Chains A and B, each alone.
Chain A
Amino acid sequence: MDFVEEPELADRIPEISYRYHLAVAKRLVEMAST
């Protein structure tokens, strides 16, 4: 797979990882606050 040749995928696939890690980070911060 080449994101240069398939720029639509360069947005779509990293979004999956970004959303996952963002949700995890928020949840861990919430746990530290309780």
Chain B
Amino acid sequence: MQISVTPEFAVRLREELRTTGKSVHNPHGGRNTCELEHALSEDMLRTSVGWANSYYAYESYANRAASYTEEWGIGWKGAAYETRFGSGFYTEIALHPLADVSALETYTPPDPNSTELYEEAAQLIASYKQDYWIVGVTVTTIFETVWRCAALSGC
């Protein structure tokens, strides 16, 4: 069993399960402490590297600030909404680093060989390989990453 939840639902789960409430929960797996996965007795842990982690990166990039800029240079901002079940929020793009084509000449994409990117995966393997099925993930948002960097017309 493996379950991914949005960060806002993770808050509710933490309250229900009485966990510390201080851990990062990224549904894609990036920089996730897996506290909820342990509490829910899940069988599989995901560890993710890639741009998709940026969707909920306000906890890891900006100490829960409302806006942040991640390693691709894409700026994000939080957006609140209301439902009959309560308040919520999501993150949306606020800045496209390649919106101006001339920026491509000086643009430096993130280094996929950076040791830091794989520290979480290494830690998960070292700590839990005997007890969990651990899956390494890079959400293949190849086109979406381009779309978000470049602000493509008609998208």
Could you tell me which A residues sit within 8 Å of B by CB distance? 1-3, 6, 9, 12-14, 16-21, 23-25, 27-29, 31-32
Contact = CB atoms under 8 A, between A and B. Distances in A.
B125 A24 contact: no
**SS class, residues of chain A in contact with chain B:** helix
Contacts of B47: 28
A29 B134 CA distance: 12
Interface of B: 47, 49-51, 98-99, 101, 104, 109-110, 112-113, 117-118, 121-122, 125, 134, 136-138, 140-143, 145-146, 149-154
B51 to A, nearest CB: 8
B136 A13 contact: no
Contacts of B101: 1, 6, 9
Contact of B145 (A2, A9, A17): A17
Contacts, number: 78
A9 B107 CA distance: 14
Nearest to A31: B121
Contacts of A25: 138
